Chains A and B, each alone.
Chain A
């Protein structure tokens, strides 16, 4: 909208010519100027410059609607505002599922089940509405080459044996998942710029980007000066594009992220048994603002895993236990508790960070941190991940 050419908004040719000489051709260029600059560029008096700005604004500003009409529209179309994840406990907490038109992030350590979750959601999206799906294609942007078509088929066959009993249905489902392999940041950005056309041509109802963090962390070394700003700019650009697409087409967007260790302040008075660092989602604080819903997956021990709802406009903090089976993700029974204080987290030790800086997450949302690498060791977990997941 902002790149609309001035000539098309009804501005007179003479003024367009004058502005063109100063290289002001689109609405974006004009509205980025102050009124005095507009006066100088267009050669108009103050009042006329204000009128010009008003008319150009009218051409590109999005319209006002009252919520009442929006609610009525939603009710008339019988459209759901959520994408059900087929995990009833999670859906109940999220009041229906992953909200459409917003960005949902799944973050966690490697091998925990993020790609499994993405594969499972891809299968769900292709199911017809009667089975709880979106009946649409899926756009899967893969940056780590972790996508496996065999696993997709296995999940489909195990989770919905009744529906995928015949081979054509399986092949039909597989044909609806469109995979794009992008291995550099610039490739990802180019793909996102062109995604609008892809969404329309494939009739996509779900966008999955797995993972955002891997390309960015490979290419940007944040210890070098200036790289942090570039990285933030790139991520903001990606976030803005994805939000725009999600909103315009009213589809859910799912991203995966990695985790990083946040080193606490060395100088603060820290008691001996509490570590001063904690793990949080990668990509920084700015990125945390950009996602609308954040789900954290983590290990409890070698066999148990958990999914936490860390940021959501409708759900409180909550923890669910799950395991990864042949049919994808299975949630065991009930919610542990709604986390209000650390004591609720019974039976599991949580290391609390005592850092002096204002923490991005509340302390009890910090991921479990292994104090010494050999207890429960990363080695054990990595072998588990090689066998159990992809």
Chain B
């Protein structure tokens, strides 16, 4: 017996049921409950809309608690399930202009990337051994902490190291150089105050380091990261160096592909939801085509779809080149860089002077370009 229900309610529910019908097997319930529902003859959520818990439990043999859970799942789905709110492109444009990019201290690379590495997107850095991937990651870990009045992002960083190539001494060198750069740029009181928060101690305390030894620890760490990011809202960078190493000795390639897809989805979700720039390092592998061998990024073709931006670091003779070969917002470009004792820098000092650089029409406050004063000083050093 239905009991007294107003016709208006029934009409509303029926309308909803017609517009949003789902089969019972797709609900996020445990398999045992789904079996019982299907066994009692309920095929879609439309069948469940008008029921109350007691009646459901009598008909299907579920306990009262479980019946309540089923109806709540259905209601959540049918009632408030318009999905996530939609944004217009205009709102997104304003949001994008407000988020800053993470500079790399190589002005040519920053210019090619449109300001630096974007926050909220995933970037992949691949390259041959010894070309400078870890060096770039260390540089970014220090750069993300540069205070906002200098053109930086002023955030914390999580560094997941799977290869053991993270050396404390090197971070100290890079951080010392960065602090020296910024202290040369100090012009007003606001920046002087900001320099108090940008010292060696604070830089080291804002880097959270985790060492994972195999892929299981890496996956476990990624399950725990959303909570960590909610607890530390100032985090703006997540570095995984490298994601390829733990996955290279898999016998079952289909399992590897599945795990990597899951991992990629988690990273993209974290990047957008918590406004974090995710940087992943990849290795190169040899692909044999007939008699020729070619170096291609590891982890397969499918992995290439996961990151938004892909950078390739390679050798050309004795020069180091960085190429952007996948980027939705920038032209594919190649720049030269070098690794010095101070870290990741431009290759030579004879780059184009400031006035020839194309001016954009964004204003200083909502600019996604790094601060021009910082760029100018970098090109002078």
Q: Do A and B come from one complex?
A: yes
With A53-B223, A266-B291, A363-B317 given, is the CB distance from A62 to B210 under 8 Å? yes
Binds B, one of A130-138, A147-155, A157-165, A283-291: A283-291
Answer whether residue A269 sits at the interface, using C-beta atoms and an 8 A cutoff.
no
With A and B bound together, what is the CA distance between A172 and B359 in angstroms? 72
Chain B: minimal CB distance from A214 (Å): 21
Within 8 Å CB of A81, what residues of B? 167-169
With A236-B248, A240-B249 given, is the CB distance from A43 to B217 under 8 Å? no
Q: Which of B164, B248, B251, B291 contacts A246 (CB 8 A)?
A: B164
Chain B: minimal CB distance from A81 (Å): 7
Chain B: minimal CB distance from A173 (Å): 29
Contact yes or no, B130 A64, CB < 8 A: no
In residues 254-299 of chain A, which contact B (Cβ within 8 Å)? 265-267, 284-286, 288-292, 294
In residues 177-220 of chain B, which contact A (Cβ within 8 Å)? 201, 204-214, 216-217, 219-220
Contact yes or no, A57 B129, CB < 8 A: no
Within 8 Å CB of A1, what residues of B? 213, 216-217
Within 8 Å CB of B315, what residues of A? 358-359, 361-363
Q: Which of A40, A61, A243 contacts B164 (CB 8 A)?
A: A243
With A and B bound together, what is the CA distance between A359 and B318 in angstroms? 11
With A67-B171, A363-B317 given, is the CB distance from A31 to B216 under 8 Å? yes
With A and B bound together, what is the CA distance between A63 and B170 in angstroms? 22
Chain A: minimal CB distance from B243 (Å): 12
Number of interface residues of A (CB under 8 A): 78
Interface of B is mostly: mixed
Within 8 Å CB of B220, what residues of A? 27, 31, 56-58, 60-61
With A67-B168, A313-B167 given, is the CB distance from A285 to B206 under 8 Å? no
Can you list 14 A-B pairs with a CB-CB distance of less than 8 A?
A54-B224, A58-B224, A61-B220, A61-B223, A62-B210, A62-B213, A71-B204, A232-B249, A243-B164, A247-B211, A314-B169, A314-B170, A358-B284, A361-B315
Residues of A within 8 A of B (CB): 1-2, 27-28, 31-32, 34, 39-40, 43-48, 53-54, 56-58, 60-68, 70-71, 74, 81, 95-96, 99, 101-103, 232-233, 236-237, 240, 243-244, 246-247, 265-267, 284-286, 288-292, 294, 310-311, 313-314, 316, 339-342, 352, 357-364
Contacts A266-B291, A313-B167 supplied; 19 other A-B pairs, CB < 8 Å: A39-B31, A40-B31, A45-B33, A57-B223, A67-B168, A81-B168, A95-B169, A103-B164, A232-B249, A246-B164, A285-B285, A286-B283, A289-B129, A311-B129, A313-B135, A313-B170, A314-B167, A341-B318, A357-B293
